[in-house]
Amino acid sequence: MKSTAVVVLFIALFAAVATAVSKQDTHAAPELSPQQKWLKQLVGEWDTQYKMYMQQDQPPMESDGSDSVRALGDHWILAEMESTFMDAPIGGMLSIGYNGQKEHFNATWMDTMSGHLWVYEGALNDAGDALMLRTEGPSMEGPDKTARYREVITIKDKNHRTFTSHIEQEDGTWMKILEAEYTRKK
């Protein structure tokens, strides 16, 4: 008789737990924000072509590379790039996330060329096809100077995107220092 009561109790507990779990499963996952959806477009494997502008009156240095982008949950992407500049390998890591409470994007960049951690804030443009990022960091004028930078990631279509980086000059104008074309690998 005791064993029958234990079995009945076990079945009742199992049924209660199963009912609670099934009720939890009926709730839909929250819809992604437009900003989170925008980030998801970057996920994948990409071939890259870089142009680095060292001086306005000189042709750019060109290089090919790759970019591997993965999602970190629904709020972040992590991108790891590899290339070669001036016959030396370079690697970099970009993180971009959307902070819904503050309603802006946050990003960081680090690479093998320097020990500086770049920290950005930004927003999508009105058309929703470009992420505009801004930061301040070491100037190309010397180690004791800083400069303002603006960088733009533009979605051209699901298989093509661009990246441009500009530095603010002393006269307030912006000089392009880097341009990259990304093509999704097949």
Task: Look at residues 66, 65, 69, 67 and name the one whose alpha carbon lies nearest to residue 44.
Answer: 69
Please tell me the predicted confidence (pLDDT) of residue 85: 85
Would you identify the CATH topology of the domain 34-184? Lipocalin (2.40.128)
Q: Which band of pLDDT confidence, cut at 50, 70 and 90, is reported for residue 119?
A: very high
Q: Is the pTM of this model over 0.85?
A: no
* Torsion region of 9: left, alpha or beta (phi above 0 gives left; psi -120 to 50 gives alpha): alpha
| 64 Cβ neighbours under 8 A, 6+ residues apart | 47, 48, 49, 50, 83, 84
pLDDT: which is higher, 23 or 136: 136
Does residue 19 carry a pLDDT above 70? no
Domain boundaries, the chain: 34-184
43 exposed, middle or buried (CB, 10 Å; 0-12, 13-18, 19+)? middle
Instruction: Look up tokens 């993965």; give the residue.
Output: 70
Please tell me the predicted confidence (pLDDT) of residue 54: 85
pLDDT: which is higher, 117 or 25: 117
Please tell me the predicted confidence (pLDDT) of residue 148: 97
Amino acid at 10: F
Amino acid at 137: G
Residue 92, Cβ neighbours under 10 Å: how many? 17
Task: Look at residues 164, 165, 160 and name the one whose alpha carbon lies nearest to residue 149.
Answer: 165
Please tell me the predicted confidence (pLDDT) of residue 21: 46
- Tens of pLDDT, residue by residue over 132-174, are 999 999 998 887 899 999 999 999 999 999 999 999 999 999 9
Stretch 113-123: mean pLDDT, rounded?
95
Q: Which band of pLDDT confidence, cut at 50, 70 and 90, is reported for residue 9?
A: very low
Q: How far apart are CA 61 and CA 86, in angstroms?
A: 8
Residue 20, Cβ neighbours under 10 Å: how many? 10
- Tens of pLDDT, residue by residue over 45-90, are 999 999 999 887 889 999 999 999 999 999 999 999 999 988 899 9
Does residue 98 carry a pLDDT above 60? yes
